[in-house]
Amino acid sequence: MEELSKFQAFIQCKCPRCRKGDIFTGSAYAFKLQKTNVNCPHCNLKFEREPGFFYVAMFVSYAMNVAEIITIGVASYILGLPLIYENLWYYVGLILFGVLLCSPINYRYSRVVLLHYLTPGLHYVPGSGD
């Protein structure tokens, strides 16, 4: 099996240490509740490094939501929705729909960003878990 790059492991939500085990059970838009694995199924890395570790992911998710809100608002304006008072509820509806549509992705990738890029001392170890 060929080794994944850091970016590929990030996109596929793989463990930051072995880049083989899945961080989540199931897919982002499955009907089952999304769940983060406690340990990596391949190298047994404990994902929640300390109690309350994933609370920091809320800040990452907040930044992702702000970026999505700005993107949806600007895209609506560029695509022809005039920025006037009568269209206020159209903007609100579009933004709410977009944020709700992206919330499963925000949940997953806020945790993946935290594990891959914002956790000091957590690095790739080739051959871990073999």
Q: What is the pLDDT along the chain (130 residues), one digit of tens a residue?
A: 578 899 999 999 999 999 999 999 988 887 777 889 999 999 999 999 889 899 999 999 999 999 999 999 999 999 998 988 898 999 999 999 999 999 999 999 999 999 999 988 888 888 776 6
Distance CA 121, CA 130 (A): 21
DSSP helix/strand/coil, 22: strand
For 41, the token pair is 């199924």
The pTM of this model reads: 0.86
Question: CA distances (Å), 99 to each of 38, 84, 94, in order?
Answer: 27, 22, 9
For 129, the token pair is 């878990």
Question: CA distances (Å), 72 to each of 17, 44, 119, 121, in order?
Answer: 35, 39, 30, 36
